[in-house]
Structure 1
């Protein structure tokens, strides 16, 4: 016979938890783990900040490595080493244009692979996805030769157009469209809507989480790009900020304090960008997790 709640209390028997909110001890443990993980990820950036405020002659002791000496002259020396305002404008222009082009190609190709029905669709999509298996470094030499043949070296075009198509973006948008009811687009087609009209009026509003994720990923990748613009450009008039960091490496060695100072003020806009848009990023990521299906 099952004991009643009053009998449970009277006999001192333990009561079963029926679910609900987690225990306070569990919440505290989760928060402690989250704080420790956050500090672990912030440690490299903290080390760069400390290095940017130390002189090059500091010892290797723990106090000198972890505590700054407040050498603010490193920042003025770093700012004078390169035309940073021009480099920041170049980076913003290149990243913004790349995002717009990547969104256009991702939406168009994702809509075609996810909604339209045509022969060879699966094979063509497989060929697009196979690009992910090719290391980018093995294509640098042939890409350089092609860029030289079409006179794109040391231009904005070579930094924007080759990255204007995102395979990840195409895959993500396709998966979102595959998760939508096909009847929506069939009804729009019966009403006389064309493909572009369906994409603009129906598709884009429904795949906004994917648009947020693609925009952030492409923008951050373009902002942090170094190897490609370093090889393809030679003039500060078109180079991004990451290439400007190479100014601190010379024949006499690397000026690490000034380099660290430059890393701090070139990374700060990206951190601010993420902090401002973190709510959209998290919301988009959660919606993307629900939208990506096999």
Structure 2
């Protein structure tokens, strides 16, 4: 698992000739740290970072809030057709995401959102997976807490906000990590809806470094290292919550 990451780092420090040499050279003769400076001047890396951070934060906030609302309704509120509607939600997970690309693109075009960050953010504000994950948490909580809150005069939203959300913290963190990874690494959708360089995310911006006839692999790998290190730090520092969230969501 670590091998590709090590090869990426080593390639980012090679010259173009060393990166294409056969048989391959594992270690660079002289570390080419200038590759990292060159990638910052070749593409607007800071703009890509800003676009990625903004879209990721808004997607995380949107999914944590909206998915938790829907999950609470499916887990705790009795209404006609609840189970059937939830099965329809789950059916979305059985359809490949590529099927939705053309309809979503046409919707973005009709709304005039092409080449905007809005087109990257809005479709990712809600997910069936996030609803399913948090529903499992809410279903595992004792009903006595909800009954006691109702006796104290709390309505459904107050129960959701003051009682359920604090107890579902591991699930919320796990969902936030999932959404962060998905949003940060998303490639296909940003390439489809955005063509303007100042609206691209990191993954789509790095794809522009791949040439039609020749690719400067050291520059591409240097950009990949700069793009990937925030996600590595997120997973390293949040892996406890990540594992806890996955294990508890399957306990019901």
Pick the TM interval, shorter chain. Answer: over 0.9
Aligned residue number for residue 205 of structure 1: 166
- Distance, in Å, in 2 between the alignment partners of 1:273 and 1:178 is 28
Mapped pair 1:292 → 2:230: no
Q: Deviation per CA, 1:147-195: give whole Å up to 9, x if none.
A: 1011111111111111111222111111111111212212211221011
- Distance, in Å, in 2 between the alignment partners of 1:149 and 1:106 is 26
Aligned residue number for residue 187 of structure 2: 226
Matches within 5 A, 1:1-294: 41-58=1-18, 59-61=21-23, 64=25, 66-69=26-29, 70-282=31-243, 284-285=244-245, 288-294=246-252
- Unpaired stretches in structure 2, ≥5 consecutive residues: none
- Distance, in Å, in 2 between the alignment partners of 1:44 and 1:250 is 21
Which portions of structure 1, spanning 4 or more consecutive aligned residues, are displaced by more than 4 angstroms? none
Q: Deviation per CA, 1:108-155: give whole Å up to 9, x if none.
A: 011000111111000000000000011111221121111101111111
Tell me how large the CA RMSD over aligned residues is: 1.5
Say if 1:150 and 1:124 are closer, same or farther in 2 by CA, change over 3 A: same
Q: Is the 8 A contact 1:81 1:247 kept in 2?
A: no
Which one is further off, 68-77 or 86-95?
68-77
The structure whose Rg is larger is 1
Per-residue deviation, 1:293: 3.9
Q: Is the 8 A contact 2:36 2:223 kept in 1?
A: yes
- Distance, in Å, in 2 between the alignment partners of 1:149 and 1:265 is 35
Which one is further off, 250-259 or 158-167?
250-259
Q: Is the 8 A contact 2:137 2:168 kept in 1?
A: yes
Larger relative CO (CA 8 A, sep 6+): 1 or 2?
A: 2
SS in 2 for 1:250: coil
Aligned residues: 249
- Unpaired stretches in structure 1, ≥5 consecutive residues: 1-40
Q: Deviation per CA, 1:182-240: give whole Å up to 9, x if none.
A: 12212211221011100011100111110010000001110111110011111232221
Per-residue deviation, 1:291: 4.2
- Distance, in Å, in 2 between the alignment partners of 1:152 and 1:134 is 25
User: How does the TM-score come out when normalised to structure 2?
Assistant: 0.94
